[in-house]
Structure 1
Amino acid sequence: MLSDKAKGKQRAVSPEEERVYKSLVVRFTEGIPDLTVGIEPEETIRDVKRNIRELRPNLKDRRLRLIHSGRLLADDTELYSWITTQEERQRQSSSGEGEESSITPRSTTWLHCSVGPQMSGDEEEDDKMQTAQLKPLRGFDRLSAAGFSEQDIANIRLQFHAHSAGDYLDQEFTNDEDFDEHARMLEEQWIDSMDSAGSASLSQSTSSTSSTLLTGVLTGFFFPLYTLFFFHSTKPAVFWDDGTEHDVVGTIVFSRSMQIWIVVGVVMNFLFGIWTYFLASD
């Protein structure tokens, strides 16, 4: 039998009653030494900023911006759940790529802190304004920079997600934020694929134009008289009922752009001949 004191000690070390927290290492942008803080599930970014100012008195009147994984965090974001969601998403991505999924979550997380100028007004209202200004456009929202209206973007988004419903069947979302994040990621992938296709088409067109230019100039330079025979198009003795002539079919040997560069090659050959003639006469 355990004594009451021993039972009390056993209850004190019980895992169910241990407080869940996560250790954060805050790295500042102005060369300030790193700071280690602990967060609990119910704490928000606003609470973390308050703790930083208490532990670093020289930052009491400075404006702070907390960044995790390249994303600016708003003051009302629950940091513990945010980091847990990001780590869970990374584990799912690793397991989907065939790696070991039994990865223990890291006990220490790095958080970047941007130290700004001294505060001159209400920080909360200013934070909302700064968050709206710094939040980048993602997905189809980027089309607004190209002149699309909000109604056009909403229609495009509706049509896109109606045809991509299969991408959501094997996904489980804990909240609306995860759902929106996945939707924006699909939109980004689709826009990037369209950009890649356009770049490939432009590269193909540029390569074809360069090949036509080089082939035409060399052909006109080395075979100036031979190629001119293919430029002549014979008019067929065909007339319509109203007396108009039949349209002349162009040559199929050289395209219009090829003919232009062949003429350039012929002119270069002529100029080269004149130059060599005067050079030899001197």
Structure 2
Amino acid sequence: MADPPPEELLWLVIRFTTALPDLPLSISSPHTTPTLALKTLIRPHLPPDLANNRLRLIHGGKVLEDITSLYQSLLLKNRHPPPPLPPPPKSSNAKGKQPVRDDTGKKFDKDTRAKIYIHCSIGDVLTSEDLEQESSRAAETQEKLEENYHGNSTRSRRESTNSNSSLLPSTEPTGPRGFDRLLSTGFTQADVTSLRTTFLHHLSLTHTPDTMPHGRALLALEERWLDSSGTDAAGGDGFDDEESNSLDDMLWGNLVGFFWPLGALVWGVREDGVWTRRRMLSVATGVLVNLVFGFARLSSVRG
């Protein structure tokens, strides 16, 4: 079986919450690889005293579901494919057979934009029955994902062939998309740029840097925001989902900062990509409230 091209590979960097070094991994089929299968790939690289512990994988501030494919969990459809790697230089002095070398690490270092960091939290020790159940569930889930993926691919190719055979005109929009639509309604380019900057600021509060939408994904969000703003009642701002997410970040951030201040500062705030910026600020607020209560109690005891 031929190796998949580099642009189809998914390069992952597993960053552990303990003192273990980062673990680089490559996934050849993210559409059919569930989170459970990724855990089984991580375990052989762990020390013997941690190989049987419970693993929890976190990306973008959310715990990855065990039975969900990595393509769906990591939102790979919103990412742009990396540029193709340059061909290896040809040397006129090279003669005979060249030594076989493992270039996986070199390709991994060259394409920095293709790396996706996943945080791995190591928990309690699992029993042998739990490990066997995890392995069997990983195999079953991967088999189901492969059946669904190959079935959908075959159906898509059949529909594409039928659509090409029928001489129908293309219905793909060719006009301006997103906030650029406002240019035809009297808005200036400066107004559109200012609106887009404000929109990106709102998105940065609910997304980590590696999950920020770009390109077509960003235009789709702008389209949805314009459509929702046009159909809402007067005074609606179209950010209901973001407001609910902000309340969730503020609540959990303050609770974590108040009841777990040291762990939150050492782990969550130090590691990039675990929490959004709003949740990090809420954690800092909870830590400050904890300190205020501590000083107040200390002063009352001394008084």
TM-score, structure 1 normalization: 0.33
TM-score, structure 2 normalization: 0.31
